[in-house]
Amino acid sequence: MLPFAYQAFSAVVHEGSFYKASLLLSVTPSAISHSISQLEKDFGFPVFVRNRAGAELTASGRTVLLIQDVVNSQGRLQQEADRINGLSIGSVRLGAFSSTCINWVPPIIQAFHEKYPDIQVSVYQNDFNAITQAVKDGTIDVGFTSLPVNENLLVKQLIRDEIYCIAPKDFKPKSSMEVTAEDLEGKSFILQQGDYDRDTKAALDHYDIRQNSIQFSIDDQSILAMVEAGLGFGILPELALQTISGNVQVFPFDKRFYRTICMVTTRTGAKSPATQRMMKQVEEYVEGEYGGK
């Protein structure tokens, strides 16, 4: 039997607060607090520090994240026993960044539930780096992120997603088909803070867009609204443009830029029957939507 303190530790890591962990485990916040206090007493050092945002791991707490491996192993053991007994039950935790959460996750989960109605699916949304770290820590089982992935994880490349320039309606490029360095000279750009790295940064650097010319917004739809208001230009990938709208223009760059969306999991996590089924469902969805893109 898995110690409840381990379950409490895992829940607080996943949820980021004692209160949310108590809701997840259907216990009182004091039960979570007592279990963590006992765990810290047994270890001889604090594992969490509480703050206004919730609870964060201490440096010592991060060294015992292998508790998460114990929790996950227990779950995989139970799922394997259920598989042997012919039962399709279990759980899988899916991590997704904004545009995959909006465009991919609903149809993937819908199809998954039709096949495996007794497998519980929970969804965690964050940026690329946070999702990759959560998979590494074992707090989610499968995550969508973008290359490069520098952690020691299993990586499955899914699609190449072209990055576009979003311009106000009154903008007229030298070419009617694409934007060039000359078109972008002296322009300011609006993007999400988490996107100022990887392939988006490569595009900005190529056109010599200085960081002091960049404003940050909270989400993709806000970027379109600010571009529509004439406050600057935006950079968004094709997937993000599928379900958001605005009175703007969309142009490819004269040099093409792409982000490569991938699926990540750990080597031990990939052994879970529920995780294996979810990964297969993701691959089937992407193949059906994009083929060999």
What is the total residue count of the chain?
A: 293
DSSP conformation letters of 40-108: HHHHTS--EEEETTEEEE-HHHHHTTHHHHHHHHHHHHHHHHHHHTT---EEEEEEE-HHHHHHTHHHH
The two tokens of residue 60 are 């010592």
The per-residue pLDDT for 252 is 93
The per-residue pLDDT for 253 is 93
Gap between the Cα atoms of 46 and 57, Å rounded: 9
Q: Which listed CATH number (3.30.460.10, 2.60.40.10, 3.40.1280.10, 3.40.190.10) goes with 159-260?
A: 3.40.190.10
Gap between the Cα atoms of 111 and 102, Å rounded: 15
The per-residue pLDDT for 93 is 93
Extents of the domains making up the chain: 1-85, 159-260
- Residue 23's H or E segment, with its range, is helix 18-25
CA atoms within 13 A on the CB side of 247: 5
| 173, 103 contact by CB (below 8 A) | no
Gap between the Cα atoms of 153 and 145, Å rounded: 12
The per-residue pLDDT for 65 is 82
Cα of 195 vs its chain's centroid, Å? 12
Cα of 13 vs its chain's centroid, Å? 16
To 5 degrees, how large is the angle CA 141–CA 290–CA 253? 100
Name the pTM for this structure: 0.70
Gap between the Cα atoms of 214 and 208, Å rounded: 12
The per-residue pLDDT for 162 is 92
The per-residue pLDDT for 83 is 66
Domains 1-85 and 159-260 share a fold: no
The per-residue pLDDT for 167 is 92
Gap between the Cα atoms of 207 and 180, Å rounded: 8
Give pLDDT tens digits for 27-65: 888 889 988 998 888 888 898 988 888 888 898 888 888
**Contacts with 191 (C-beta within 8 Å, 6 or more apart), sequence order:** 200, 214, 216, 217, 223, 234, 235
Residue 135 DSSP symbol: H
Question: Is residue 15 packed enough to be buried (19+ CB in 10 Å), middle (13-18) or exposed (0-12)?
Answer: buried
User: What's the Cα-to-Cα distance from 23 to each of 9, 34, 232, 244, rounded to whole Å?
Assistant: 14, 15, 42, 33
216-235 in b/e form (b: 16+ CB < 10 A) is ebeebbbbbbbbbeeebbbb
Gap between the Cα atoms of 155 and 140, Å rounded: 15
**pLDDT < 50: residue spans in the chain:** none
Single-letter code of the amino acid located at 18: F
Second-level CATH architecture of 1-85: Orthogonal Bundle (1.10)
